[in-house]
Amino acid sequence: MVTPAKKRAVGRSKLQREQTLTFIAFTIPGFLMYCCFLIFPILMGIYYSFMDWNGISPSYDFIGLENYADLLTDRKYKAALLFNVRYTLLLIVGVVVISVILALMLNREIKGRSFFRTLYFAPAVLSMITISLIFKQIFFYVLPAIGQRLNIALLSSNVLADRDLAIYGVLFVHLWQGVALPTLLFLAGLQTIPQELYEAASIDGANAWQQFRAITVTYLLPTLSVVLVLVVKQGLMVFDYVKSMTQGGPGGATQSIALLIYNNGFERNKYSYSITQAIATGLIIAFISFIQIKYTSGKKVE
Amino acid sequence: MNASKRRGNVITYVFLTLGAVLILFPLYICIATTFKTSSESAVSFFTLPKSLYLGNYAEVLADEKLYYAYKNTILVTVLSLLAEMLIMPPMSYALSRSMGHSRLFRNLYYFFLLGIFLPWQVRMMPVVKLMGWLNLLSPSGIVLLYLAHATCESMFLYVGYLATVSNSLEEAAYIDGATTLQTYTRVILPLMRPILATVLIREGLAIWNDFQMPLVCLNRSHKLWTLTIYQNNFQSEYSVDYNLAFACLVVASLPIMIFYVVMQKQIIGGLTNGAVKG
């Protein structure tokens, strides 16, 4: 005899089977796409990094770890790595300082706040290429014109053509566009702070700086870690700006890792070697972002 | 209002206005120059154009490459977003509701997350070879690459969002005898609307503005170029004629600027949400 309870149990397991099958069907297209066009190319890359292929010739040989060994003594790679580290550190400082200040200002109750917000965010929707190309022309024609008229030696020639200054030119453009999103994130963070805290603190006699350190900074820490993840990734992999503004020049002064990999792989026919560089760099970056995310999610307080 | 607060507001205004000038100045130079002849802008960059010279725009608009670039960019963006909307939300729903009890789905989730950590450069060169073999070095071909990439990032956003959606509504649907597919399309999908908007805007902007993928996959014939490639190549061709180069940049970024002015609130909301959760 079939009891109602048994019937329900049978019904449930049938339902469970139907659900599992549907869920598997839901997952298959994405899984295939991911395996074919993301995982498989990475495996291909690992394979080629043990070869000496130039990317064109029909045959190539297995050379073991030679590409990886070459990497250790490659001066260009080391220079690019140093460029990226320096660039990223400067970018972090610039983005965090500027966007926190902007967010604090945009958080004040002033007239025209939404106008400023709209304007300050506009650079974020344009492509990096458009921005770089506008600034490339400005660095080339406009700034020298201003510099000569005002007798500022620093500006009277093209900043991007100067070995020592080019990195700051690129950085300026990156900051011009790159502070937009962090500013909004910090602004959103500021709006989560209960105003009573400030009132209580000022009754207790804390001055503005003490209030900023004790309350504002504490509440902005979760946002800060999000911003750091974003900015570190951007800085270590910077490509669009240097590719379109300086081509890595002058004399390799702004050659970033991403650009070096691109040039080796597509322009200099060092196919296998450039993949080796990409894998080594990828491991470094994966390690850094893993640490960052682990540290962040462990610390986040709601 | 007390004195120190008023002083603070004055300082704020001064700084924000300076910042606004810093943002608007390059854009002003860019737009003003497009309405000048090259001899006029050689005299001064900074003045307003004497008359609205339209020759630069006429020349840019007469270039067939521009229309290929528009067509390809729209094609790539729209196809990618459609496919992403079709594939990723149901997959994320499956992962979200099975991860708790099924080891298979939990491992799949971690497998999909792997891709977030690895920068695109790691697969850049092999991807070009692979797409070449498959005869997919075309605008519709790179849609597959964007989809593969979206698997990690948008899946992560969707699953995070679904974790906050209580499952009482879907339980009710199952008790009423709905199949999983029906429950997904009638109950879950409508509930996911806010995160769908976030992902659409994030992915849409990223794909529209992307330079690296088209650069390595589509930089062969101008019939395959997207807008970013077109702008880049146009400028290397006409770098001396900056009036023309600026006109090209303005024309190419016009759609995104209009989009921003119209959808400002959604765009800001979408990008902020996506970054915090992503």
- Give B115-150 pLDDT, tens digit per residue: 888 888 888 999 999 999 999 999 989 999 999 988
In this structure, are B17 and B80 located in the same domain? no
The number of residues making up chain B comes to 278
Distance CA B103, CA A226 (A): 29
Task: Please tell me which of the candidates A116, A181, A285 has its beta carbon nearest to residue B20.
Answer: A116
Distance CA A131, CA A297 (A): 34
Question: How far, CA to CA in Å, does B264 sit from each of A169, B96, B267?
Answer: 29, 31, 5
When pLDDT is cut at 50, 70 and 90, the band that residue A10 belongs to is low
Task: Answer yes or no: do B23 and A123 touch at CB < 8 A.
Answer: yes
Q: Tell me which of B38, B53, B68 is where a domain ends.
A: B53
- Predicted local distance difference test score (pLDDT) of residue A6: 54
Maximum Cα interatomic distance, chain A, rounded to a whole number of Å:
101
In this structure, are B107 and B156 located in the same domain? yes
When pLDDT is cut at 50, 70 and 90, the band that residue B92 belongs to is very high
Is the pLDDT at B245 greater than 90? The verdict is no
Residue B225 and residue B219 in contact, taking contact as beta carbons nearer than 8 Å: yes
Mean pLDDT of all residues belonging to chain A: 87
B13 at A interface, C-beta within 8 A: yes
Mean pLDDT across the stretch A65-90?
92
Please name which of B81, B78, B63 lies closest in space to residue B196, comparing C-alpha atoms.
B81
Range of the domain at B35: 3-53
Q: Tell me which of B31, B53, B75 is where a domain ends.
A: B53
B91 at A interface, C-beta within 8 A: yes
- ipTM over 0.95? The verdict is no
Distance CA A121, CA B126 (A): 36
- Predicted local distance difference test score (pLDDT) of residue A162: 86
Q: Percent of chain B at pLDDT above 90?
A: 49
Task: Please tell me which of the candidates B94, B148, B246 has its beta carbon nearest to residue A137.
Answer: B246
**How many A×B Cβ pairs under 8 Å?**
241
Residues 6+ apart with CB under 8 A from A258: A237, A238, A239, B119, B121
Task: Answer yes or no: do B23 and A45 touch at CB < 8 A.
Answer: no
Lowest pLDDT segment from A258-267, B164-173, B235-244, B250-259: B235-244
In this structure, are B72 and B163 located in the same domain? yes
Angle, CA of A247, A99 and B113, to the nearest 5°? 70
When pLDDT is cut at 50, 70 and 90, the band that residue A302 belongs to is very low
Is the pLDDT at B247 greater than 60? The verdict is yes
The number of residues making up chain A comes to 302
**A132-168 pLDDT tens trace:** 999 998 898 888 888 888 877 777 788 888 888 999 9
- Predicted local distance difference test score (pLDDT) of residue A298: 53
CA A72 to chain B, closest CA, distance in angstroms equals 18
Name residues 198-227 of chain B within 8 A of A (Cβ): 205, 208-212, 215-216, 227
CA A120 to chain B, closest CA, distance in angstroms equals 7
Cα dihedral: B43, A131, A166, A143 (round 10): 20
Please name which of B155, B147, B152 lies closest in space to residue B127, comparing C-alpha atoms.
B147
In this structure, are B65 and B49 located in the same domain? no
Question: How far, CA to CA in Å, does B48 sit from each of A134, A148, A215, B29?
Answer: 18, 21, 47, 9
Q: Look up the CATH number of the domain holding residue B147.
A: 1.10.3720.10
Distance CA A181, CA B202 (A): 12
- Predicted local distance difference test score (pLDDT) of residue A267: 86
CA A30 to chain B, closest CA, distance in angstroms equals 6
Please name which of B157, B156, B164 lies closest in space to residue B111, comparing C-alpha atoms.
B156
In this structure, are B104 and B176 located in the same domain? yes
Mean pLDDT across the stretch A218-242?
91
Task: Please tell me which of the candidates B117, B179, B209 has its beta carbon nearest to residue A128.
Answer: B209
**A79-101 pLDDT tens trace:** 999 999 999 999 999 999 999 99
In this structure, are B147 and B207 located in the same domain? yes
Cα dihedral: A244, A245, A248, A252 (round 10): 160
Is the pLDDT at B33 greater than 70? The verdict is yes
In this structure, are B22 and B120 located in the same domain? no
Q: Which residues of B touch A261 (CB under 8 A)?
A: 121, 124-125
Q: What is the amino acid identity at position A214?
A: A
In this structure, are B102 and B65 located in the same domain? yes
Distance CA A42, CA B125 (A): 9
Interface probe for B, chosen from A17, A18, A27 (most Cβ of B below 10 Å), is A27
In this structure, are B9 and B74 located in the same domain? no
Angle, CA of B98, B102 and B106, to the nearest 5°? 80
Task: Answer yes or no: do B180 and A262 touch at CB < 8 A.
Answer: no
In this structure, are B162 and B193 located in the same domain? yes
- Predicted local distance difference test score (pLDDT) of residue A300: 44
CB atoms within 10 A of CB B114: 14
Please name which of B219, B143, B91 lies closest in space to residue A37, comparing C-alpha atoms.
B143
Is the pLDDT at B21 greater than 90? The verdict is yes
Indicate the number of domains in chain B: 2
CA B100 to chain A, closest CA, distance in angstroms equals 13
Q: Which residues of A touch B19 (CB under 8 A)?
A: 102, 116, 120
- Comparing A11 with B133, the larger pLDDT belongs to B133
3-state secondary structure chain B: CCHHHHHHHHHHHHHHHHHHHHHHHHHHHHHHHHCCCHHHHHHCCCCCCCCCCCHHHHHHHCCHHHHHHHHHHHHHHHHHHHHHHHHHHHHHHHHHHHCCCCHHHHHHHHHHHHHHHCCCHHHHHHHHHHHHHCCCCCHHHHHHHHHHHHHHHHHHHHHHHHCCCCCHHHHHHHHCCCCHHHHHHHHHHHHCHHHHHHHHHHHHHHHHHCCHHHHHHHCCCCCCCCHHHHHHHHHHHCCCCHHHHHHHHHHHHHHHHHHHHHHHHHHHHHHHHHHHHC
**A115-138 pLDDT tens trace:** 998 999 999 999 999 999 999 988
Beta bridge partners of A62: A51
- Predicted local distance difference test score (pLDDT) of residue A301: 38
In this structure, are B34 and B78 located in the same domain? no
Q: Which residues of B touch A271 (CB under 8 A)?
A: 125
B100 at A interface, C-beta within 8 A: no
Beta bridge partners of A51: A62
Residue B227 and residue B252 in contact, taking contact as beta carbons nearer than 8 Å: yes
Residue A76 and residue A255 in contact, taking contact as beta carbons nearer than 8 Å: yes
Sign of CA dihedral A67, A68, A72, A77: positive
In this structure, are B139 and B158 located in the same domain? yes
